[in-house]
Amino acid sequence: MTASPVRAAVVQAGSLLFDTPRTLNKLTDLTRDAAGRGAQIVVFPEAFVGGYPKGLDFGARIGTRSPEGREDFRRYYDSAIEVVGAESAQFAAAARDNRVYLVVGVIERAGATLYCTVLMYAPDGTLLGKHRKLMPTALERLIWGMGDGSTLTVIDSPMER
């Protein structure tokens, strides 16, 4: 038996930093477009929702933080999402409405800690799993907590390997 190929869409788009609602709308539109082109799995970049804060230092210097940096971090924290929440429902709807596996990088807010996380959804909208980045690099450690390996998951699918 010959396996049919899997059509994957790797989205190369940036998020709208500090604007989670518009980023979610962009994700929905890009998922719909990819599914319309035949994608069965749609993969978004690291930190797509919540944003990768390229170039920001949040005013941090050894032993001090600037008021402007604190405000930038507050805005960044407020742009992060909780995994079970309104944003999760929008991801689930995007997967379900387009009948695709959806993989999306988010900035997850869990208590007082932010994590760089990837969420994985099934074509029926079920959250299959999440994975927190194990070792943020360099200055990423200033803003993101470290994962502990407990979120390393293997997900079965009907797609051929």
What is the value of pTM for the model shown?
0.93
Q: Does domain 8-143 have CATH number 3.30.1330.20?
A: no
Q: Which of 128, 134, 121, 130 is nearest to 151 (CA)?
A: 130
Q: Look up residue 97 and give its two tokens.
A: 């409405």
Tens digit of pLDDT at every position of the chain (161 positions) = 566 789 999 999 999 999 999 999 999 999 999 999 999 999 999 999 999 999 999 999 889 999 999 999 999 999 999 998 999 999 999 999 999 999 999 999 999 999 999 999 999 999 999 999 999 998 899 999 999 989 888 888 887 65
Phi and psi (nearest 5°) for 105? -85, 130
116, 94 Cβ separation under 8 angstroms: no
Q: What residues does each domain of the chain span?
A: 8-143
